[in-house]
């Protein structure tokens, strides 16, 4: 059966996901769209030539759209209501990060899913599907560099607009590292700290940029992440794992090397949409395939969304206190204790 998909929020990433489901992936079809800006939903239909209905809001799409699954690609604070409405209607959900913008909101989603008794939700933490991170994970799991001791990471965006605030460096940007790094080293976070270095003159008045985050895991691995969202030169994601017997690093994005105007160089991407293109394809293909084959999604769960939000909120506290803050999770319910199979 083809998975009939409704899209809630047809902005930047909503349209990107519609494009990939329609043009690149198999087994899914976008049959319904909604956006609080009706013009945005209409433009999605026109841009991709969709044979899909437009619905006035998320609840109507879920109730009347004849969908098996929804993609929640609206703004973060809007996610919770749409996800819970979908779960209560028994629809599968692919929700972009963050799952919800509060710990309590994430827990309401977890509880709704457990009440239904079936996993329906996958969170859009696509880096777990990136071939670079998967290679790093394989190296760590096979003890290729011995036990990991510390990680040096960077998450750099060339620029942001004036709506981007200091807390978004954590909740919108670092959240990808928060999810992928504990998964990478098979550990849980214990504490976090945020340091504000000298501010770049390219940051708008209200924004503190760059930021330097230190996360410590229960086994003592120390992870530092530089977040710079006005780095100017490109979209650049770095991750270096220092182990007892060697160092493993995320591969650079392939590019030609050129010799021009007295220089040897290579290109750096400028846009987040391109950096994890293959990972976005893989996460959504896996969502579609797993549901069609097993009746349950196979990717990052609502519990992973909760773990990320607890860690993000500890980082927000650390931004304000300047101190090391504890990260405290509830015990993982048995319901979520399954071994995630690798992507594809």
Binding site for ligand NAI (CB under 6 A): 8-14, 34-37, 40, 58, 73-76, 78, 96-97, 124, 126, 172, 272
Using Cβ positions, the residue closest to ligand NAD within the complex turns out to be: 11
DSSP code at position 76:
G
- Selected from 28, 53, 76, 148, the binder of ligand NAD by CB under 6 A is 76
Residue 173 interacts with ligand ISE (CB under 6 A)?
Answer: yes
Summary count for the chain: helices (H), strands (E): 11, 15
Nearer residue to ligand NAI within complex by CB, 60 or 219: 60
In the region spanning residues 42 to 71, those forming contacts with ligand NAD, defined by CB under 6 A, are 58
Q: Cα separation of 215 and 326, whole Å? A: 10
Residues written for the chain: 344
Bridge partners of 121, per DSSP, are 93
Q: Cα separation of 169 and 197, whole Å? A: 14
Nearer residue to ligand ISE within complex by CB, 55 or 129: 129
From 11-19, 85-93, 195-203, 240-248, span contacting ligand NAD (CB under 6 A) = 11-19
CB within 8 Å of 243: residues ≥ 6 apart = 140, 144, 145, 146, 147, 148, 149
From 30-38, 132-140, 144-152, 169-177, span contacting ligand ISE (CB under 6 A) = 169-177
Q: Cα separation of 186 and 174, whole Å? A: 18
Other Cβ atoms within 10 Å of 255 Cβ, number: 11
Sheet holding 69-72, edge to edge: 53-54, 28-34, 3-8, 69-72, 92-95, 121-123
- Selected from 26, 37, 141, 265, the binder of ligand NAD by CB under 6 A is 37
State the minimum distance, in angstroms, from the CB of residue 17 to ligand NAD. 9
**Crossing angle, helix 12-23 and helix 38-48, to 10 degrees?**
30
Cα–Cα distances (Å) from 69 to 66, 135, 158, 171, 285, in that order, read 9, 31, 34, 25, 13
Query: Max CA-CA distance within the chain?
Result: 65
What is the SS3 assignment for 125? coil
Q: Are 162 and 205 in contact (CB under 8 A)?
A: no
From 172-180, 254-262, 298-306, 314-322, span contacting ligand ISE (CB under 6 A) = 172-180
From 32-40, 84-92, 325-333, 334-342, span contacting ligand NAD (CB under 6 A) = 32-40
From 34-42, 85-93, 259-267, 313-321, span contacting ligand NAD (CB under 6 A) = 34-42
Cis peptide before 68 (omega within 30 of 0): no
DSSP code at position 144:
T
- Selected from 91, 137, 176, 182, the binder of ligand ISE by CB under 6 A is 176
Residue 285 interacts with ligand NAD (CB under 6 A)?
Answer: no
Q: Which does 157 bind (CB under 5 to 8 A by kind): ligand NAI, ligand NAD, ligand ISE, none?
A: ligand ISE
Q: Cα separation of 17 and 30, whole Å? A: 10
Q: Which does 173 bind (CB under 5 to 8 A by kind): ligand NAI, ligand ISE, ligand NAD, none?
A: ligand ISE
String of contacts with ligand ISE for each residue 99-128, x by CB under 6 A? ------------------------------
Residue 282 interacts with ligand NAD (CB under 6 A)?
Answer: no
Residue 165 interacts with ligand NAD (CB under 6 A)?
Answer: no
Other Cβ atoms within 10 Å of 252 Cβ, number: 12
In the region spanning residues 252 to 311, those forming contacts with ligand ISE, defined by CB under 6 A, are 272
Between β-strands 69-72 and 92-95, what pairing exists: parallel, antiparallel or unpaired? parallel
Q: Which does 122 bind (CB under 5 to 8 A by kind): ligand NAD, ligand ISE, ligand NAI, none?
A: none
Positions in the binding site for ligand ISE (CB under 6 A):
157, 172-173, 176, 272
Positions in the binding site for ligand NAD (CB under 6 A):
8-14, 34-37, 40, 58, 73-76, 78, 96-97, 124, 126, 172, 272
């Amino acid at each position: 059966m083809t998975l009939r998909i409704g899209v809630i929020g047809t902005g930047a990433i909503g349209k990107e996901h519609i494009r990939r489901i329609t043009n690149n992936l198999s087994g899914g079809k976008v049959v319904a769209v909604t956006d609080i800006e009706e013009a945005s939903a209409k433009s999605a239909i026109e841009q991709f030539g969709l044979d899909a209905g437009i619905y006035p809001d998320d609840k109507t799409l879920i109730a009347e759209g004849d969908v098996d699954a929804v993609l929640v690609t609206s703004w973060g604070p809007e996610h919770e209501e749409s996800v819970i409405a979908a779960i209560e209607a028994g629809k599968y959900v692919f929700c972009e990060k963050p799952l919800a913008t509060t710990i309590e909101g994430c827990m309401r989603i977890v509880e709704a899913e457990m009440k239904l008794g079936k996993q329906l939700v996958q969170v859009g933490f696509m880096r777990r599907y990136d071939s670079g991170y998967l290679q790093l994970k394989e190296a760590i799991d096979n003890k290729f560099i011995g036990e990991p001791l510390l990680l040096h990471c960077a998450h750099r965006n060339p620029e942001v607009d004036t709506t981007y605030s200091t807390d978004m460096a954590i909740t919108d940007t670092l959240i990808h590292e928060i999810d992928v790094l504990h998964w990478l080293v098979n550990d849980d976070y214990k504490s976090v700290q945020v340091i504000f270095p000298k501010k770049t003159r390219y940051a708008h008045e209200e924004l503190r940029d760059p930021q330097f985050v230190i996360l410590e895991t229960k086994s003592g691995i120390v992870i530092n992440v530089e977040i710079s969202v006005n780095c100017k030169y490109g979209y650049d994601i770095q991750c270096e794992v220092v182990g007892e017997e060697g160092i493993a690093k995320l591969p650079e994005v392939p590019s030609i090397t050129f010799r021009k105007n007295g220089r040897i160089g290579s290109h750096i991407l400028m846009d987040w949409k391109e950096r994890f293109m293959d990972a976005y394809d893989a996460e959504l293909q896996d969502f579609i395939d797993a549901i069609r084959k097993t009746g349950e999604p196979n990717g990052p769960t609502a519990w992973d969304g909760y773990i990320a939000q607890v860690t993000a909120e500890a980082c927000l506290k650390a931004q304000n206190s300047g101190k090391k803050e504890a990260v405290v999770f509830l015990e993982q319910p048995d319901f979520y204790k399954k071994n995630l199979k690798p992507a594809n």
